[in-house]
Structure 1
């Protein structure tokens, strides 16, 4: 499983248990997880890494750790995951960026690289983003990488979400 190509500022790495401290801090941050049902504790972050490894094994892709090319500093995660919404499974592009690094275009840059990877490497026919209706910054990221608002619906948990999508 090869991650997306590096961008001007970012590089992607397969997620491992060596990333547990960074992932626990990221997924445990209430600012980062503001639009999710809950933050994740250390065990929840370990579960996230385990889930990601299962995706690597079953589909050859998943979430990747994102680091600054210049310094190796941990930025967050970004990647592609199969997600069921309204009874249909599509590949979703998802991203989390450390709170103190938000607003620098890292989510857009990483998501654009994953968008290209989905299209050019995986041959995905449709890419989506499932976003909380109040998460305007994430909606802007989706639009900047070429996804358009498709519909409002409910998540599997019954929470309101917006689906952004593009077909290749």
Structure 2
């Protein structure tokens, strides 16, 4: 993810349908900050969120990857994903999340992986389950929002 991806990321993170389970959408400056945050993660952690594109055309579909996240005082590595509304339902999030899970386990040697999901976001919960994560508990995120923690040992 680079600043060259700002238009795609701003459209994705600014879409009210994509962001319906977040406190709010993100503006263009916040999308740029999202890219900067990921570039910092690449340098500091060796991973972050990456673009999801179609192999056949290179068309931007969304983002997916690994990020450290704190919930209720514990920091875990989260697998996260966003997919454009018109591209949802085609298995792209599951395919990308599965690849990230495998990277976490096989290359990064991460031993625990979580997904932090809004309780009403059943499509994201299904992606987590297809990736091998199971509902572990309900919690309160740093934003104060109620979330479901899906987790697996790797």
Shorter-chain TM range is over 0.9
1:116 — aligned with what? 102
SS at match of 1:44: helix
Matched residues in 1 for 2:89 and 2:102: separation? 22
Which 4+ residue blocks in structure 1 deviate beyond 2 angstroms? Answer: none
Distance in 2, Cα, partners of 1:59 & 1:153:
25
2:49 is aligned to 63
Structure 1: how far apart are the matches of 2:93 and 2:146?
22
CA-CA distance at 1:145 after TM superposition: 0.5
Which ranges of structure 2 fall in alignment gaps of 5 or more residues?
none
Per the alignment, residue 124 of structure 2 pairs with 138
How far 1:66 sits from its partner (Å)? 0.9
Alignment root-mean-square deviation, CA:
0.5
Alpha-carbon displacement from aligned partner over 1:45-95 (angstroms, at most 9, x marks no partner)? 000000001101110000001110000000100000000111111100000
Residue 101 of structure 1: aligned partner? 87
What SS does the aligned partner of 2:50 have? Answer: strand
CA distance in 1, matches of 2:143, 2:124: 20
Given the alignment of the two structures, is residue 43 of structure 1 paired with residue 29 of structure 2, yes or no? Answer: yes
SS in structure 2 opposite 1:49? helix
Q: What is the total number of aligned residue pairs between the two structures?
A: 154
1:152 aligned to which of 128, 138, 141 = 138
Instruction: Give, in angstroms, the shift of residue 157 of structure 1.
Output: 1.4
* Cα distance between partner residues in 1 of 2:36 and 2:134: 31
